[in-house]
Structure 1
Amino acid sequence: MSTPGRPRLKSIPPAPTGPRPAQQGEPRAAVGARKGVAEGVPIAVRPDPRTTTPPRPDGRFPIAWLHICAPRGTVPTATSRCECGRNHNAVGFGRVLALVDDHAAHRTVCPLRGHPEGRAAA
């Protein structure tokens, strides 16, 4: 007779008496070469854009970017970035115009920009 709090089971499987080897699956057919990463998985480390972007024929490459987004009927935004560590954002018409002027002024004081006067003097 069963206890009142426990439901009656139809059959209880026997408990294993010891370890047993795992069953081996069927061998799969190898198709193509092994891959280092799964397909469709983005690589966590992205390449450095300065080394992947080829320099211009005269050897110059970009170090500062000014991105302005002004869709019709919405508030304009802008971002000014430089490789020296500068990263400024602006929202609104007046502030975006001020950031454009500030970005142009930063070109004269950026430590990464080579000044043509200094090159000619050297």
Structure 2
Amino acid sequence: MPVSPDPHIPADGPAWVVAWIRIVAPDYYTERVSAHAWCTCGFERRATTRRGVLAVVEQHLAHRTLCPLRNPAEGSRAA
């Protein structure tokens, strides 16, 4: 297994964060919750209701399998 000289960079190359999700869930049930999910490919979702926050979380997780930055369509096999 290759070893990287810099412990912060994986041995197989540097890694970049391409998608984020921020969820605000206050302690009190009466306060407003919110979620914001975004990706460098252009995907972006926001919500300010509890049901909407759950939907944003599901969309964010589903986007991981659909994102063109994480999963190139055919790569070098394209003819």
TM-score of the pair, normalised by structure 2: 0.69
Cα distance in 1 for residues equivalent to 2:38 and 2:17: 11
TM-aligned CA deviation for residue 60 of structure 1: 1.1
**2: CA distance between counterparts of 1:92 and 1:72?**
15
Tell me: higher relative CO, structure 1 or 2? Use CA pairs within 8 A at least 6 residues apart: 2
The alignment status of 1:57 with 2:9, answered yes or no, reads: yes
Gaps of 5+ in 2: 1-7
Q: Report how many aligned residue pairs link the two structures.
A: 62
- The CA deviation at 1:114 is 3.9
Letter in 1 for 2:9: P
Runs of 4+ in 1 over 3 A off after TM superposition: none
- Cross-structure match for 2:42: 85
Shift of 1:88: 0.9
1:5-25 Cα deviation digits (max 9, x unpaired) = xxxxxxxxxxxxxxxxxxxxx
Q: Secondary structure at the match of 1:102?
A: helix
- In our comparison, the structure showing a higher alpha carbon Rg is 1
Q: Does 1:100 align with 2:62?
A: no
Give the Cα separation in 1 of the matches to 2:71 and 2:65.
10
Identity %: 37
CA RMSD of aligned residues (A): 1.9
Q: Mark the runs of 5 or more structure 1 residues left unpaired by the alignment.
A: 1-55
